Amino acid sequence: MPGKGGRRGKSGHGGKKVEITSDEDSINNDACSVSSGQSDNRSMPDDVNDNEVDEIAQQEAFEEKLKEAIDGLTQRSAKGRIICFNGIEKIFAIKYVPDFVEDRKITISDSIERSLKKGRSEEQLTAARLSTLLCVQLGIFESAEAICRDLKSTLTFVANDTAASTSARSECCWALSMNQFFSGNDAADTLEIVQLLSNIFSGSYLKGNGTIAAVSADVAALHAAAISSWTLLLTVMTPAEIYNLLASDRSNNYMPSLNRLRELLESPHLDVRLSAGEALAVIFELGRDFSYDYEQEWAVGLIDVLKELATDSNKYRAKKDRKQQRANFRDILRYVEEDIVPEMHVRFGQETLYLEGWCARTQYNACCRLLGPGINIHLAENQLLREIFHLGNKVLPITSQKTTKLERTLMNAAAFKARTILRNKTRDKRFAAMAP
């Protein structure tokens, strides 16, 4: 289970102030005339502080733009609100600004809840996604848990609402799972969400007579999202819980049986098959952590199914789908049959993240889905993600050894002064030798 401790803290950014001392002035005045020395002393602070002023101006412009977007969440126009939601999401994904967000968390969370209740498809979708990004930004604060808890009932309602669009329901499934994953609430809440998600994707099980259920592409996408978000929550459960709750021959109020999950591998939709395969890999990884012979006999039949999927060459499937399916199920087959654990290395900045096993891979993929290219920034700066992936404290960047313009000016002035003194001495000796 990912670590959630030590989440209190704040990040600060301090400007670098450059001052010119009287010693520096004297060097310049010795090297130059009085008038030129005064002119240089007036211009140097302006040159040195140009970068600092630019950074401050950029930060102020960024904060002003974000404030406008947050204020725009309360406007009457639904289209305008969606634009503001999208703008805030892009900023939250590529920048880590926890202190700024902490001061405005109530405004943002209230707007999210209102849009989930009264908005339509696209607005509900963007609001659900922003709820998770808000949780990521507030991860180091205690307020993150309270906000996720307050939004849980609304997200649950939309996820279960058959009248809502499947895309909005899919995003609410992800939001419920990831908010729970990031906020680290108690096991009872986790089991409640796990049960809700398993009920949603149960529509892709085989029918009572063993035939494949007729599911549209949109509903299949919903089921695949529910399976993947359900799998994410399995990764934070203990191996003992997985061993006791998931078995081949029995189901309970919270978990389907393994036989039911295997039926999902027969779905005609690629996303459902891939999500189900990864779910089974995570289950076996956790089950074997508790007992090395977890469902050993049942796995024999599963291996036969996995081999078919790993070598599928049916022409009625798209070539791209066949290629992706074979690649994924080869990894799953190697793990279930030979216990070969997948490994993955992710380089970001000066660091490298090592991912070993299906649980770590599932968690990382979920974070990538949310943050996109901004994942590297959050891995480097976001303390919540660094705790989840066991990266330790933030690594300070290596400072550049490049000299500033002021330092170069002062060094040139000192060299000029030394050179002038030496030349004056040489001239004095030459003049003395030439004297009659």
Do both 205 and 126 map to the same domain?
no
Domain termination site, one of 315, 342, 369:
342
Do both 248 and 366 map to the same domain?
no
pLDDT for residue 22: 39
Do both 274 and 301 map to the same domain?
yes
Structure confidence at residue 23 as a pLDDT band (50, 70, 90) = very low
When computed from its CA atoms, the radius of gyration of the chain, rounded to whole angstroms, is: 31
User: 183-225: per-residue pLDDT in tens?
Assistant: 876 788 999 999 999 999 999 999 988 899 999 999 999 999 9
Bridge partners (DSSP) listed for residue 344: 355
User: 127-170: per-residue pLDDT in tens?
Assistant: 999 999 999 999 888 889 999 999 999 999 999 999 999 999 99
Do both 336 and 358 map to the same domain?
no
Whether residue 27 is contained in a domain is answered as no
Nearest to 97 by CA among 87, 88, 106: 88
Overall pTM > 0.75: yes
Do both 136 and 75 map to the same domain?
yes
CB contact at 8 A, 291 and 242? no
Do both 303 and 196 map to the same domain?
yes
CATH code, 303 = 1.25.40
Do both 92 and 230 map to the same domain?
no
Whether residue 251 is contained in a domain is answered as yes
Do both 226 and 253 map to the same domain?
yes
User: One-letter amino acid identity for 363?
Assistant: Q
Number of domains in the chain: 3
Structure confidence at residue 283 as a pLDDT band (50, 70, 90) = very high
Do both 162 and 192 map to the same domain?
no
Do both 75 and 155 map to the same domain?
yes
Of these ranges, 56-60, 61-65, 269-273, 308-312, the one predicted with the greatest mean pLDDT is: 269-273
Task: For residues 331 and 342, give the distance between their C-alpha atoms in angstroms, rounded to a whole number.
Answer: 7
Domain termination site, one of 342, 366, 383:
342
Domain termination site, one of 342, 364, 383:
342
Tokens 């001495």, located at residue: 425
Do both 144 and 119 map to the same domain?
yes
Residue span of the structural domain in which 389 resides? 345-394
26-31, long-range: CB < 8 A, 24+ apart:
27/410, 27/413, 27/414, 27/417, 28/409, 28/410, 28/413, 30/417, 31/413, 31/414, 31/416, 31/417, 31/420
Do both 69 and 210 map to the same domain?
no
